[in-house]
């Protein structure tokens, strides 16, 4: 595994970001599964096994604001076509420090590969673990560059009781690492608010490319 991206992510989790110089850093994919783009403030990171010179040539020809070029559909489309991949959305990338002690909500660990949220997590993550609460689930797994990521699901009938916030905070107690990461679609304002209320802070945007 190329650990260049892992180092960049670890620094970002600690509040040390790439310089806001308008540049783009191109690094190797950390694994065959994971390719994509990270956008920080005025600095982007492209993680791909494609030729870096080709990446930079496409960026140079991308129309619009140069600072936003790596998240421009023109560039993202070219990179996906080149690698035969697709993507779901550009996510808000957030991170939170682990918390000591047990979660403040009753949970039971389960194995439910048929659950839609679990099935989706297993496409993007390794070492997936799932805990159920009354009305929801919290998922942990190792995603991009081996980072621990979480996702939650709240049943429709259980919404409005801040269950999502408690599940997102529970992941901070359950994670076997110093930090836990989470992605939210920016348009899903409810999810964004939930994770920020649970102590997750935004660090950038992420476009993750999926094989097949």
Nearest Cα to Cα of residue 165 among 74, 103, 120, 81:
103
> Which pair of tokens denotes residue 201?
């802070």
10 occurs within a structural domain:
yes
Q: Which of 60, 91, 122 is the last residue of a domain?
A: 91
Whole domain around residue 25: which residue ranges? 4-91
What's the rounded Cα separation, in Å, for the pair 62 and 13?
30
146 occurs within a structural domain:
yes
Q: Which of 58, 76, 91 is the last residue of a domain?
A: 91
One DSSP character per residue, 79-110 reads: HHHHHTEEEEEEEEEEEEE--SS--SS--EEE
Residues 80 and 155 both lie in one domain = no
Residues 158 and 84 both lie in one domain = no
128 occurs within a structural domain:
yes
The reported pLDDT for the residue numbered 164 is 93
Residues 109 and 15 both lie in one domain = no
Residues 136 and 56 both lie in one domain = no
b or e along 30-48 (b: 16 or more beta carbons within 10 Å of the residue's beta carbon)? beebbbbbbbbeebbbbbb
185 close to 89: Cβ distance less than 8 angstroms: yes
The reported pLDDT for the residue numbered 110 is 87
Residues contacting 33, CB < 8 A, separation 6+: 124, 211
Q: In what order do the strands lie in the sheet with 35-40?
A: 24-27, 43-47, 35-40, 201-211, 85-97, 179-184, 148-154, 136-142, 126-133, 108-110
User: Would you mind telling me the total number of residues written for the chain in this entry?
Assistant: 212
Residues 119 and 83 both lie in one domain = no
The reported pLDDT for the residue numbered 144 is 96
Task: Residue 189: give its domain's CATH number.
Answer: 3.40.630.30
> Which pair of tokens denotes residue 180?
């836990």
75 occurs within a structural domain:
yes
Q: Which of 91, 114, 143 is the last residue of a domain?
A: 91
The reported pLDDT for the residue numbered 2 is 64
pLDDT per residue as tens digits for the range 78-127: 999 999 999 999 999 999 999 999 999 999 998 877 777 677 777 778 99
Residue 66 CB: number of other CB atoms within 10 A?
A: 13
Whole-model pTM? 0.93
The reported pLDDT for the residue numbered 28 is 97
Residues 72 and 153 both lie in one domain = no
Residues 42 and 113 both lie in one domain = no
What is the DSSP pairing of strand 24-27 with strand 43-47? parallel
Residues 44 and 65 both lie in one domain = yes
Residues 113 and 179 both lie in one domain = yes
Residues 19 and 78 both lie in one domain = yes
Q: What's the number of domains the chain is made of?
A: 2
Residues 41 and 66 both lie in one domain = yes
DSSP tag of 18: P
pLDDT in tens, the chain (212 residues): 569 999 999 999 999 999 999 999 999 999 999 999 999 999 999 999 999 999 999 999 999 999 999 999 999 999 999 999 999 999 999 999 999 999 999 999 988 777 776 777 777 789 999 999 998 999 999 999 999 999 999 876 667 678 999 999 999 999 999 999 999 999 999 999 999 999 999 999 999 999 86
Nearest Cα to Cα of residue 123 among 151, 154, 95, 97:
151
Residues 177 and 164 both lie in one domain = yes
């Amino acid at each position: 595994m190329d650990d260049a991206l892992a180092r960049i992510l670890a620094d970002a989790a600690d509040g040390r970001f790439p310089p806001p110089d308008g540049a783009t850093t191109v690094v190797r994919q950390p694994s065959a599964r994971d390719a994509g783009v990270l956008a920080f403030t005025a600095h982007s990171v492209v993680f791909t096994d494609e030729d870096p010179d080709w990446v930079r040539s496409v960026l140079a020809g991308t129309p619009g604001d140069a600072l936003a070029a790596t998240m421009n559909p023109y560039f993202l489309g070219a990179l996906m076509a080149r690698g035969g991949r697709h993507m779901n959305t550009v996510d808000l990338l957030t991170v939170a420090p682990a918390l000591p002690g047990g979660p403040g909500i009753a949970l039971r660990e389960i194995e439910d590969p048929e659950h839609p949220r679990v099935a989706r997590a297993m496409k993007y993550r390794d070492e997936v673990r799932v805990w159920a609460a009354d009305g929801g689930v919290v998922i942990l797994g190792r995603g991009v560059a081996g980072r621990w990521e979480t996702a939650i699901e709240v049943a429709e009938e259980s919404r409005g009781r801040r269950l999502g916030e408690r599940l997102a905070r529970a992941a901070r107690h359950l994670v076997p690492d110093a930090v836990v990461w989470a992605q939210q679609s920016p348009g899903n304002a409810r999810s964004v608010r939930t994770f920020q209320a649970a102590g997750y802070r935004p660090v950038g945007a992420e476009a993750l490319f999926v094989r097949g």
